[in-house]
Amino acid sequence: MAVTIKDVAKIANVAPSTVSRVIANSSRISERTKKRVREAMEELGYHPNFIARSLANQSTQVIGLVMPASADKTFQNPFFPEVLRGISTAAHEKQYALQMSTGETEREILEGVMQMVQGRRVDGIILLYSAVDDKIIKYLQKESFPFVVIGKPYENVEEITHVDNDNYRAAKEATEHLLGLGHKRVAFVGGSIQLVVTIDRLLGYENALRTAGVPYKDEYIIHEEFLKEGGQEAVSELLSLSEPPTALVVADDLMALGILNTLHDIGIVVPDQMSIVSFNNVLLAEVARPPLTSVDINIFQLGFQAAKTLTQMIKDPTEPTKRIIIPHSMVKRHTCKEFEAVVVKS
Domains of the chain: 62-165+299-328 (3.40.50.2300), 167-296+331-341 (3.40.50.2300)
Listed residue (140, 167, 172, 169) closest to 156, CA to CA: 140
pLDDT band, very low/low/confident/very high, at 57 (cuts 50, 70, 90)? low
Q: Tell me the C-alpha distance between 17 and 5, whole Å.
A: 9
Listed residue (32, 59, 40) closest to 146, CA to CA: 59
Q: Tell me the C-alpha distance between 247 and 271, whole Å.
A: 9
Q: Would you say 310 and 126 are in contact if contact means Cβ atoms under 8 Å apart?
A: yes
Q: Tell me the C-alpha distance between 256 and 103, whole Å.
A: 26
Task: For residue 163, give Cα distances in angstroms to 59, 91, 129, 144, 253.
Answer: 24, 16, 10, 19, 21
The pLDDT, as a whole number, for residue 342 is 44
Res. 53: pLDDT tops 70: no
The pLDDT, as a whole number, for residue 337 is 95
Who has greater pLDDT, 305 or 76?
305
Q: Would you say 245 and 216 are in contact if contact means Cβ atoms under 8 Å apart?
A: no
For the stretch 280-326, pLDDT in tens is 999 999 999 999 999 999 999 999 999 999 999 999 999 999 999 99
Q: Which 3-state string (H, E, C) describes 243-271? A: CCCCEEEECCHHHHHHHHHHHHHCCCCCC
Amino acid identity at 280: N
> Which helix (H) or strand (E) is 189 found in, with range?
strand 186-190
For the stretch 167-194, pLDDT in tens is 999 999 999 999 999 999 999 999 889 9
pLDDT band, very low/low/confident/very high, at 61 (cuts 50, 70, 90)? very high
Q: Please, what is the average pLDDT of the chain?
A: 91
Q: Would you say 164 and 226 are in contact if contact means Cβ atoms under 8 Å apart?
A: no
Q: Out of 13-22, 134-143, 272-281, 312-321, which region has the weakest mean confidence (pLDDT)?
A: 13-22
Res. 52: pLDDT tops 50: yes
